[in-house]
Every structure is written in structure tokens, then in C-alpha cells.
Amino acid sequence: MHPLQGTRGEGGAPLSDGRPRLVLGPTFWAVWPLAAFVFALDRWTKAWAVASLAPAGSRPLLGEWLRLTYVRNTGVAFGLGAGRGLPFAAITLVALGLVIALALSPRSRTWPRSIALGLIVGGAAGNLLDRMRWGSVIDFIDFGLRQNWFPVFNAADSAISVGVVLFALTLLGERGGSDDRAATAPGTPGGERGAA
């Protein structure tokens, strides 16, 4: 038996052994269903692209603005780094592990961060599976106008991009809140002054 197990303080509450405990709340569990949904959506849309777009190559969807174009991307999101022979599967696997570790951190127990991390994890897992199976990623969303076309991407790329932007906004909001608290703290310029 642990030395502190079963002992109680004066108020009757169990004494803590001082070890950190992992607190799992709704925001923690929200990451994984969202990641699973993004992953499933990515797999379904890519399977459809293989079956329907690969034979045709490209199909117009909204005139000259939006097309569905089947391509194989050997680079990262939006075709960056394509053809350079870099180990993108290994890089993606390491990045995915870091994001999952971040999702397990107590600092990520907010709804905006949980949503952001769920989007990133699901999208990264979808593209990682492509790289491990085929050495490339299936892209098919193609939009632009005349000669100005955005790199072809997929649902996973979209989820990752939205997740990264959302997570960055939470960091900016946290930093702004910290600056505001520091500015109004006692003894700081602009805040209350401590007792003389």
C-alpha cells in the first residue's frame, strides 16, 4: 500500500500524494471524434476521386472558378516540395506525434484548441496513410481564374490549414490576455500601485 493511501487530513479529505494527475474533460475527448470524422471524410473523398476523377482527369464544377482535378502529389500540402525526394512520410509521422502530444497537454483543454487539434490530427493522419501506401497524396480540389490557379489540394489539407490558423489565433488570444493582465497587475504602470 502506498504510504498516503487511505490517509485523510484534518478535514476528512484524502491527502494527495503529490503526483500530477491527467484530467480528461469534454474538451479532451472532443479531439478524437473530430479527428476520426475528418479522417473518414478524407478517405471517402479520395476514394471517390480515384473512382470518378482518375479516368476523366478533370471536371468543371463551378465554371472557370472551381474544378475537380485528379493529381498525385509527392510533396506536402498544396504541392509544396513536390519532386524533391524528401522523406515526407517520416516527417508527417513525427509531426503527427507532436500534435497528438500537444492534444494530451492540459494547456489544450479549451474548445477552440480541441477543435483545431482534431482538424490537424485527422487531416495529417489521412495524408500520412496516402504516403505510406502509395508514396504520394491524392489531391483533387482545383480553383482559380484564367492563369491564376491555386495548387490542387484535398479535404485533409483544408482541415490542417483551418486547424493551424485556429490554433494560432488561440495562441495570439492567450498572449493578448497575458499582456492585459500584466498591464493591470498591482505595482505595474497603468495598474494599481502596491502599498508603500
**Other C-beta atoms lying within 10 Å of the C-beta of residue 174:** 13
d(CA 72, CA 134): 9
Dihedral of CA 177/182/186/192: which sign?
A: negative
Cα–Cα distance, 45 to 41 (Å, whole number): 6
What are the C-alpha distances in Å from 186 to residues 141, 176, 183, 190?
54, 18, 9, 9
How many C-beta neighbours within 10 Å does residue 75 have? Answer: 17
Place of cell 468543371: 60
Contact 69, 52 (CB under 8 A): no
Instruction: Tell me which of 17, 157, 179, 180 is the catalytic residue.
Output: 157
Which of 17, 139, 142, 180 is the catalytic position? Answer: 139
Q: DSSP characters for 145-165? A: ETTEEPPPB-HHHHHHHHHHH
Is 17 among the residues known to form the active site?
Answer: no
Helix locations, 105-190, DSSP H: 111-134, 155-183
- Residues forming the active site: 139, 157
